[in-house]
Structure 1
Amino acid sequence: MQKSEYVPVIRWKRGEQSAIKELEKNIKDNISPIIEIPPIDWDFDKEEFKKSIDQHLSNFAKQIEECWNENTLYIDALQICLDDEETMESGTHPLKFIFDHLEGINIKAIPVTSPSRGENYQSAIHEIINEYKTGVCLRLRDEDFDEIEDLLLTTRGFPCDTNEIDLIIDYEFIEPKHEKRTSKLVLGSLQSIPDINSWRNLIFIATSMPDNLSAISTGTDGSIPRIEWSIYNKLLKASLPRYPTFGDYIIQNPNYNQIDPRVIQMAASIRYTSKSEFLIFRGFSVRSPKHGKWGQAKTLCERVIKSPQFSGENFSYGDKYIHECALGNTSTGNAKTWRKIGTNHHLTLVFQQFANSPGVLASDK
């Protein structure tokens, strides 16, 4: 990236893959997603992983090719490399395996690392930079800024120049009530970065989407303020030598939770992003025949399109689907369907916010 672009964190699951596949080309041309490889699902009955690491990654390059275009994307393999000894059957590091299989596809991928990752992960990063000339993306958390100057000195060990290194300031989950305090922390973090104009790209990422929606009662509608967007716009009004571009976690929380499906009580819901909020339309347990299982999504869609914040059926693929479902013209789907729909709408809306906001576009100065 050499211009302001939206940098969403996309958890590489079927719903999210389908969501970006349905994006219009001009949107794909102006976003640079961070693709997070999710951990392998756990089989709670057999008490073992459902797949091997080779099976988990076997179709990754093909999926990327089908869903994306030639614009830049980042790849973060932390969740499958929490054990730093993890390798493919061939002995190749999983991250290196991914980049080897992306070779030949017309996609510009950049590997993501952070200071806390293991020796083998960092060795794979060096191999990728040397072989594919990708540069690297350094993903920093709040705690990394305690000694930021010393930390960034270690980037001299990467086999690339500073102008080939992207910096992400990732504040992960922000409680809405902590907006003012977090705004000051983010501003201080940006001001503490040495040689701030020398880095290839500078990106701020956060979300206010909670780990679960229990604060909103089943069968009701609620909302959560998009604190990350509010903080970002405050940054653009501050006096900074360089302004970051914006990223978020779309409509999900950063945490990865492996929940036993035998005990979970999932309620049908639609997460619908507006200009300043996440609107939450909650139904009831999808196990309940009384409430129609996923058939209740039709009623949820009716509530969405009646909202004054509904963007209209022609706004995005996701909005069209919501409108058609409300009319009973398409399937009420399942959890993957509504993650796809909510994700597609969100990506379209944030892209529009960038396109229509001179203040955001000024972040390149």
Structure 2
Amino acid sequence: MSDFLYCPIIKGKANDIKALAYVSPVLMPEVKPLFELPPFKPTDDPEVILAKFARRLAKFAGGRLSYVDFPLLRPGAKTSSGEAALAVAYRQLNALWLRYEPVFGFDREEAMWGTVIEQANRSGGLLLRLDGDDLQFPEDTIHQIADIRARGFDLRHLDVMIDHRSLTSDEGTMASASATADFIDDLCAAISLRKILVAGSSAPKTVSEIERDSCGTIPRRELVLWAHVASERLPVQPIFADYGVIHPDFSDQTPSTHINGKIRYTHGASFHIYRGHSLRQEDKYEQYRGLSAAVSHSSHYQGSSFSYGDRYIYECATGHSGTGNPGTWVLVDQNHHITYTARQFRRLAGLAASGGSATELLLQP
């Protein structure tokens, strides 16, 4: 797994994890996912939530090396036994023999660093997750990274992810690319690390800006971000990471009463979003047949054999499968996206390594 090319950041819900599990094994050696504990209610028992998450990973992703993160555990979170929830989470994953490396950040609970380092040494690696704020004072952040060595961890086994999360404008994306490239250059001059990942997302939180019963196109700004950083001739080539078609802050804890039928289809440097209408109105779930037909008849459709998701779209359009539910289409859309991006980066990583410009990288399908 030392030469992976792509890190999809995956919410730890069943259909999101299945989306990765259904990707062809041929592509998986170049993919190292990051699984996040999904949102849960404040009244939920942390131990129960963590155990459910661990079982899902064991069922659908247990044999695959991954990163696992628990960003939504509140500082001081404990289980009913009084033990730190993060320590319990690691123990549950270890009991199921999952192959994973922990994820942590400087915005997390300081007191848990010892637990994280202990698990990182056991797992053989650690992912440090930074955000845009960490780049504002690069010298301070690099000093903090160097201090991880004093906590008892060999930095040669450290990966760093610079996660810009939601990218909402072209200007902001270019500013983030410049700051990221400068930070990577300074970081590599000071510390020898294992890998550096660059992450972001253009996935919309809602489809409200797309006209009802139409198709809209959204640029994959995270791809633009990566291309401009990767073309800067840095000491290391950054690895691409994204959230797929799911917004980084997505939560189903307060579901909408008027969920729209939609299919999100990745091609080139764009998301094509086929929006229907409320699933409570008119043809309800049957609208997915028309949406699937629109995708399968489009110029960017990759064919029914491309991925599990593409096959489902074809079969839904032709009446050979059911219309599913919103969770089904998360699986379908994410599976196509992960498959497409893994194949895409087989081409892009090589082109970037050979000195391709950002423009050349973004012109590749």
Question: TM-score, with normalisation over the residues of structure 2?
Answer: 0.89
Q: Which amino acid in the other structure matches residue 34 of structure 1?
A: L
Superposed CA offset, 1:33-81 (max 9, x none): 11000121x4xxxxx73x32122122333322221253321111011x1
Q: What letter corresponds to residue 142 of structure 1 in structure 2?
A: G
Determine if the alignment matches structure 1 residue 273 to structure 2 residue 284: no
Q: Does 1:312 align with 2:306?
A: no
Indicate whether 1:193 and 2:187 are aligned.
yes
Alignment of 1:15-94 (within 5 A): 15-40=15-40, 42=41, 49=43, 51-68=44-61, 70-79=63-72, 81=73, 83-94=74-85
Deviation at 1:318, TM superposition (A): 0.3
Partner deviation per Cα, 1:242-292 (whole Å, 9 max, x = no partner): 11111001111111445633x64211111111111000000001111x2x2
1:285 is matched by which residue type in structure 2? S
Which segment drifts farther, 353-362 or 201-210?
353-362
**CA root-mean-square deviation:** 2.1
Q: How many matched pairs? A: 350
Distance of aligned partners of 1:361 and 1:71 in 2 relative to their CA distance in 1, 3 Å threshold: farther
CA distance in 2, matches of 1:89, 1:296: 46
Residues 259, 215 of structure 1: alpha-carbon distance in 2 compared, 3 angstrom cutoff: farther
Deviation at 1:114, TM superposition (A): 0.6
Describe the superposition over 1:155-184 as per-residue Cα deviations: whole angstroms up to 9, x where unpaired.
223321110111111111112422333322
Which is further off, 69-78 or 276-285?
69-78
Distance 1:19 1:257 in 2: 18
Of the three residues 307, 318, 322, the one matched with 2:313 is: 322
* Counterpart for residue 356 of structure 1: 347
Residue type at the aligned position of 1:270: I
C-alpha distance in 1 between matches for 2:154 and 2:252: 39
2:222 to 215, 219, 228: 228
Q: Which among 88, 106, 112 is matched to residue 103 of structure 2? A: 112
The question of whether the paired residues in 2 share the 8 Å contact of 1:76 and 1:112 is answered with: yes
Which amino acid counterpart does residue 48 of structure 2 have in structure 1? Q
Tell me the equivalent position of 1:295. 286
1:240-279 aligned at under 5 Å gives the runs 240-257=234-251, 260-261=254-255, 264-279=257-272
- The whole-number CA distance in structure 2 between the counterparts of 1:95 and 1:362 is 42
TM-score (norm 1): 0.89
Deviation at 1:196, TM superposition (A): 6.0
What's the offset of the Cα at 1:234? 2.6
* Deviation >4 Å, runs of 4+: 360-363
Identity in percent: 26
Q: Are 1:100 and 2:94 counterparts? A: no
Q: Displacement, 1:84?
A: 1.1
The 5 Å alignment of 1:154-169 reads 154-169=147-162
Q: In structure 2, do the counterparts of structure 1 residues 26 and 104 end up closer, same or farther at CA, with 3 Å as the change threshold?
A: farther
SS at match of 1:25: coil
After superposition, the Cα gap between the structure-2 partners of 1:346 and 1:361, relative to the gap in structure 1 and judged at 3 Å, is: farther
Q: Structure 2 vs 1, CA of residues 134 and 92 (structure 1 numbering), >3 Å: closer, same or farther? A: farther
Give, as a single letter, the amino acid of the residue that structure 1 aligns with 2:148: T
Residue number in structure 1 paired with 2:213: 219
Tell me if the contact between 1:21 and 1:66 (Cα under 8 Å) persists in the aligned partners: no
Question: Residues of 2 paired with 1:228 and 1:361: CA distance?
Answer: 19
The runs of 5 or more residues in structure 1 that have no matched partner are: 43-47
Superposed displacement of residue 91, structure 1? 2.9
Which residue identity does 1:134 align to in structure 2?
G
Could you tell which deviates more after superposition, 187-196 or 25-34? 187-196
C-alpha distance after superposition, 1:127-156 (max 9, x if no partner): 3235x2433211011111213233223322
Answer yes or no: is 1:143 the counterpart of 2:133.
yes
Which stretch of structure 1 is more off in the superposition, 198-207 or 180-189?
A: 180-189
Distance 1:157 1:323 in 2: 55
Q: Which deviates more, 197-206 or 115-124?
A: 115-124
Letter in 1 for 2:163: D
Name 2:164's counterpart in structure 1: 171
Q: For residues 329 and 252 of structure 2, what CA distance do their matches in structure 1 show?
A: 19
Q: Is 1:181 equivalent to 2:199 in the alignment?
A: no
Specify the alignment match of 2:363 in structure 1: none
8 A contact 1:10–1:36 mirrored in 2: yes
Question: Residues of 1 paired with 2:207 and 2:253: CA distance?
Answer: 15
For structure 2, the residue ranges without an aligned partner over 5 or more in a row are 356-365
Answer yes or no: is the 8 Å Cα contact 2:100–2:123 preserved in 1: no
CA distance in 2 between partners of 1:24 and 1:214 (Å)? 33
Task: Indicate if the aligned counterparts of 1:176 and 1:225 stay in contact, CA closer than 8 A.
Answer: no
Tell me the distance in 1 between the aligned counterparts of 2:218 and 2:204: 9
Matches within 5 A, 1:112-131: 112-129=103-120
Distance 1:196 1:31 in 2: 28
Distance 2:309 2:123 in 1: 37
